[in-house]
Every structure is written in structure tokens, then in C-alpha cells.
């Protein structure tokens, strides 16, 4: 597939802290984005309608409606990439459980380098419109990459995953993680390798992000037991897929 010649990319920054907003605005503009910045959730939702961004950074702690509710409302009509920014590290676990529809999470303080890497990683991923954008014509179905392993089946292009006949409700990141594991089911993945592959970073401190997502993915595959039948922990190394037939 050939790349469109230098199409304009737009980013929206929703952040009430002036310093952080200026930092993100500046960082994204150096990455070639046309940037708009607002300081509240409602202004953010309005800006998504009028500005139609490809990327949104969304602070969790906002005055008025918070970032989580803002994210939900944006997801009803837009499929831009969303990076949630939280002031608390431990909040990421809670956010992931809420299925806000965000694509990635960053905790403050973050480095400019980290923000850039996260953005680059998101834009390397294949994209597909959300169901909410229903007015668009259905696109022609390309050759589907379908991965199968035991009971699990992942339709990569359709971005749907199944356990037997049950369709799994995965976030974008959980889906990408599962697809990556299923592409090479015999491989033992280290957390660092998964970080590089799925998130595009390799800072060891982020391996917690992998563990949290693996935990969520296991719960969605196996219910609350989440004991790792499908995704095995290889002690001292990382993870690998197990073929589960029943």
C-alpha cells in the first residue's frame, strides 16, 4: 500500500494545566501535527466535532466532566486515537478496567521522548473506523488476516476476536496484544519485546503496562479466574500462547 503524500495530521490537546498543555502542544507540533488545545472536557468534545483530530491527548483530572466521561462521549462519534494522561500511576489499572475506549495511557510526569514514542507507535498501527461512524459507506473487505490458535480466532483486519463462538470485547490495545501473541504462538515473549512491538517503547519501567494488559486480557479470555490457560507465564522470561481446545 502506498503512503499518501504528507497528509495533514491534526491533534487535539485537552488539558487544564497550562504548563502541561503547552508542553504537549509544543511536542506534537514538532512531530508535524497541526495542534488545537482546550482546557475542559466539553470544549474538547466540541473541538472534536469542529476540528476532526486524528489524535487526542486527554487529561483525566479536568474541571467539569472528567477525562473518562469526555472519552466516552468522544468515542460515540469519533475514532481518533486517544491517549489518556493521568496524574497517578496506580490510576492506570482503574482506567484500563473502565474500557473508556482510550488507546494508550501516560502518567505524569512523562518525558517528551515517551510521549513522542507513544504517538509514533499508535500511528504505526492499522486503523479501522469505530461502529459509531455508521453513516460511512461500508468499505470493501480486503484479504483478511485471520489467526487461529486452539479455541481462539483473531480477524486482524476486521479487528474482531473470538473464543470459540463467543466474541470478545477487547480494547484496541488488548486486541493488538493478542494479535501479536497469536502471530507467533510458539514464541516466548519477554515483556520488553511486547512493549517494543505493541507500544513502540522499550523502557523497562513500562513493563507494568504489559502485565496489566495481559491480566485484563486473561480475564476476558477466561473469566475472573484469569489463571493463564491461554496465555502462559514463562517464569523469569515472559509469556507464550497455549493451545486450548476446550
Binding site for Ca ion (CB under 5 A): 16, 59, 61
Which lies closer to Ca ion via its Cβ, residue 32 or residue 63?
A: 63
Indicate the residue among 62 and 96 with the shorter CB distance to Ca ion.
62
Q: How far is the CB of 62 from Ca ion (least distance, A)?
A: 6
Contact between residue 167 and residue 160 where contact means Cβ atoms under 8 Å apart: yes
Which residue number has the CB closest to Ca ion? 61
Closest approach, Cβ 16 to Ca ion, in A, equals 5
Give the rounded distance of the alpha carbon of 34 from its chain centre. Answer: 22
- Name the minimum Å distance from CB 216 to Ca ion: 25
Helix axes 91-98, 207-222, angle to 10 degrees: 30
Q: Which residue has the cell 498501527?
A: 125
C-alpha span between 226 and 210 (Å, rounded): 15
Q: Closest approach of Cβ 20 to Ca ion, in Å?
A: 8
Q: Where are the beta strands (DSSP E) in the chain?
A: 9-14, 33-38, 55-59, 81-86, 104-107, 146-149, 152-155, 160-163, 166-168, 189-190, 231-234, 238-241
Amino acid at each position: 500500500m502506498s503512503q499518501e503524500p504528507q497528509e495533514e495530521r491534526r491533534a487535539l490537546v485537552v488539558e487544564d494545566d497550562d504548563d502541561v498543555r503547552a508542553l504537549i502542544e509544543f511536542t506534537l507540533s514538532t512531530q508535524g501535527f497541526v495542534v488545537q488545545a482546550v482546557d475542559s472536557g466539553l470544549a474538547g468534545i466540541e473541538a472534536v466535532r469542529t476540528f476532526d483530530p486524528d489524535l487526542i491527548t486527554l487529561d483525566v483530572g479536568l474541571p467539569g466532566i472528567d477525562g473518562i466521561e469526555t472519552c466516552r462521549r468522544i468515542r460515540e462519534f469519533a475514532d481518533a486515537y486517544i491517549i489518556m494522561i493521568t496524574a497517578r500511576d496506580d490510576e492506570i489499572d482503574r482506567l484500563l478496567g473502565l474500557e473508556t475506549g482510550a488507546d494508550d495511557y501516560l502518567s505524569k510526569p512523562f518525558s517528551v521522548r515517551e510521549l513522542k514514542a507513544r504517538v509514533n507507535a499508535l500511528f504505526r498501527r492499522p486503523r479501522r473506523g469505530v461502529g459509531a461512524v455508521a453513516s460511512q459507506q461500508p468499505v470493501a473487505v480486503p484479504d483478511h488476516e485471520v489467526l487461529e490458535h486452539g479455541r481462539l480466532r483473531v480477524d486482524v483486519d476486521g479487528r474482531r476476536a473470538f473464543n470459540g463462538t463467543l466474541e470478545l470485547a477487547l480494547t484496541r490495545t488488548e486486541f493488538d496484544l493478542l494479535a501479536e501473541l497469536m502471530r507467533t504462538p510458539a514464541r516466548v515473549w519477554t515483556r520488553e519485546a511486547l512493549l517494543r512491538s505493541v507500544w513502540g517503547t522499550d523502557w523497562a519501567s513500562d513493563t507494568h503496562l504489559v502485565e496489566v494488559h495481559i491480566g485484563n486480557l486473561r480475564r476476558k479470555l477466561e473469566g475472573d479466574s484469569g489463571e493463564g490457560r491461554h496465555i502462559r507465564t514463562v517464569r523469569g522470561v515472559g509469556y507464550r500462547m497455549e493451545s486450548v481446545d476446550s
